[in-house]
Structure 1
Amino acid sequence: MYKAFKMKLYPGFEEEYERRHNELWPEMREMIHTHGGKNYSIFLDRETLTLFGYIEIDNEELWEKGADTVINRKWWDFMADIMETNPDNSPVSVDLKPLFHLD
């Protein structure tokens, strides 16, 4: 199963966003894998500062439980100053509907 979504970066934080993800905390990496996430990529549309995320997950229920982990909440707080977030600091994220897939 796979998911695609979009988020929004604040202007001027492109390099910082990339740096933080290149230095992804080991505990965050472990949480993603423990909750069934793999083959995770995030892309940036430089014109609109829209982030496009793609991740393969084992199942939706297990993946959603990762959002309530302490390390995930800490990551949201860490990223809140450079991207659009909700009141709980979770990223404003819009799921994208799959229309075509080719293996």
Structure 2
Amino acid sequence: MSIHAFRMQLKPGVVDEYRKRHDEIWPELSALLTESGIHDYSIFLDEATLALFAVLKLAEPNTRDALPDHPVMKRWWDHMAPLMEVEDNNRPKEWSLPLIFHHD
């Protein structure tokens, strides 16, 4: 199991809607993430900058790299695109965060 962290960016005025959509996460998306090897996935918000900080645990082996091609993931990205900074295909822009310190 490895730990991965990355940053994403919300657009102004959408925090409540972003939270609502995640509170109502689609069961098929939740199942897809688990089946792909993603566990203990959390997203934190910096309210001052609207930066989102995501942390997840990834099982080995996993199929995380196949997620961008999955129809459920594409549909989720389309659903979330109005709220976030995204790439041309509506994938959220991600900035990887290297691990500096970990205490077990």
Q: Which amino acid aligns with 1:46?
A: E
The number of residues matched between the two structures is 103
Question: SS of the counterpart of 2:7?
Answer: strand
Where structure 2 has 5 or more consecutive residues not aligned to the other structure, the ranges are: none
Question: SS of the counterpart of 1:43?
Answer: strand
Distance 1:54 1:60, change over 3 A: farther
CA RMSD of aligned residues (A): 1.1
Task: Among all aligned residue pairs of Structure 1 and Structure 2, give the percentage whose two residues are the same amino acid.
Answer: 38
Deviation at 1:10, TM superposition (A): 0.3
Deviations 1:63-89 (A, max 9, x none): 111221110000000000010000000
Question: SS of the counterpart of 2:82?
Answer: coil
| TM-score in terms of structure 1 length | 0.96
1:84 equivalent in structure 2: 85
Q: Which amino acid aligns with 1:48?
A: T
Q: Which amino acid aligns with 1:49?
A: L
Deviation at 1:96, TM superposition (A): 0.5
| TM-score in terms of structure 2 length | 0.95
1:17 equivalent in structure 2: 18
- The whole-number CA distance in structure 2 between the counterparts of 1:52 and 1:94 is 9
Question: SS of the counterpart of 1:24?
Answer: coil
